[in-house]
Amino acid sequence: TVKKLLDFEKKKVYTLKVEASNPRVEAQFQYLGPFKDSAMVRIVVEDVDEPPVFSKVAYILQIREDAQINTTIGSVTAQDPDAPRNPIKYSVDRHTDMDRIFNIDSGNGSIFTSKLLDRETLLWHNITVIATEINNPKQSSRVPLYIKVLDVNDNAPEFAEFYETFVCEKAKADQLIQTLRAVDKDDPYSGHQFSFSLSPEATSSSNFTIHDNRDNTAGILTRKNGYNRHE
């Protein structure tokens, strides 16, 4: 009987010595012994066609979000365990890439882009690659491929919310009436660093000033003593 799984590619032949013996021998027949015999048994393991095996259980690749179409990201490799030289065909499982953002060279397993990327829309793309034996298309295997989109500073800052600010008619100069905060869809390695200023056309005629707090916030300050609601 088989006690462990067999692997044709690792060992094709097993040789065993089998012994048969009679454990109970009556004393009067001892002179006829020995009451045992042995034989050599040769077990030949037959090959079974197995699907291709990828070099990794999963692949992780990275690409910048400003990569152009047809940019190569990396590659996957698979091999037929029955015959390493047997040709393999690669393809992308389109159920895992419905928008056809990525493609693969069917011959060498190179992964490349077929559409532009946007990290702010989707940071990770998880697709599945299929390896199929050309000589036996029924034999195929799959491997997960995780593609991380690296950030590029391609978005302008935005104010965190819509600010509606009020000031009293009797307000004093340099009074803080509003604190502004900005956000950015990008995620730079060193963190965000925003600066705040009035637009050029408002600098000279504005009734208010802005103070950059140097912490990605700014304060809106009154510039004069008193305001007229009717004006």
Neighbour count for residue 228 (Cβ, 10 Å): 6
Tens of pLDDT, residues 57-77: 999 999 999 999 999 999 999
Asked if 132 and 164 sit in the same domain, the reply is: no
Q: Does residue 47 surpass a pLDDT of 90? A: no
Q: Are residues 157 and 141 in the same domain?
A: no
DSSP string for 107-156: TT-EEEESS---TTT-SEEEEEEEEEESS-TT-EEEEEEEEEEEP-----
Whether the per-residue pLDDT at 98 is higher than 90: the answer is: yes
Number of domains in the chain: 3
Residues 75 and 117: their CA atoms lie apart, in Å, by 18
Q: What is the pLDDT of residues 109-150, one digit of tens each?
A: 999 999 999 999 999 999 999 999 998 999 999 999 999 999
Per-residue pLDDT, 66: 95
Residues 36 and 118 in one domain: no
Domain ranges, residue 118: 53-150
CATH of residue 106? 2.60.40.60
Given 150, 172, 190, the domain boundary residue is: 150
